[in-house]
Amino acid sequence: DTAVSQTPKYLVTQMGNDKSIKCEQNLGHDTMYWYKQDSKKFLKIMFSYNNKELIINETVPNRFSPKSPDKAHLNLHINSLELGDSAVYFCASSQAGLAGPYSYEQYFGPGTRLTVT
């Protein structure tokens, strides 16, 4: 009964390949996020969806494309992988929305460690 799950946990691939990461939450939250954590451990938001609608789209290469088929699922597809894409990618969810500041407590998945060689 994991709250936020991600697959795969590890992803090793070569430059130029295309890969996807999947995320699912069973918390009933309306909002889901993708974060990238680099080797210096800085956690940077990439995208956020609220009820399948893209609400946050940070300055990220357009090789990264998120998709949310429903509010419990959020996927991340990465085209033409580059060495600099190597990082840990975290999915998170929260009840955030227009409900006010109290709903932004985020719950993270276990992460996907992507290594591009």
Partner 1 sequence: QKEVEQNSGPLSVPEGAIASLNCTYSDRGSQSFFWYRQYSGKSPELIMSIYSNGDKEDGRFTAQLNKASQYVSLLIRDSQPSDSATYLCAVLPFSGGYQKVTFGTGTKLQVIP
The Cα–Cα gap between 116 and 68 comes to 25
CB proximity list for 34: less than 8 A, separation 6 or greater: 23, 45, 46, 47, 48, 66, 74, 76, 89, 90, 91
**99 contributes a contact to partner 1 by CB under 8 A:** no
**98 contributes a contact to partner 1 by CB under 8 A:** yes
**109 contributes a contact to partner 1 by CB under 8 A:** yes
What tokens were used for 52? 């399948």
CA nearest 77: which of 85, 69, 92, 67?
Answer: 67
Minimum distance from CB of 89 to partner 1 (Å)? 11
Residues 56-85 contacting partner 1, CB under 8 A: 56, 58
Of positions 42, 61, 63, 117, contacts partner 1 by CB under 8 A: 42
- Rg of the chain in Å (alpha carbons): 14
Minimum distance from CB of 16 to partner 1 (Å)? 28
Chain contacts with partner 1 (rule: CB under 8 A): 31, 40-45, 48, 50, 55-56, 58, 90, 96-98, 101-102, 104-111
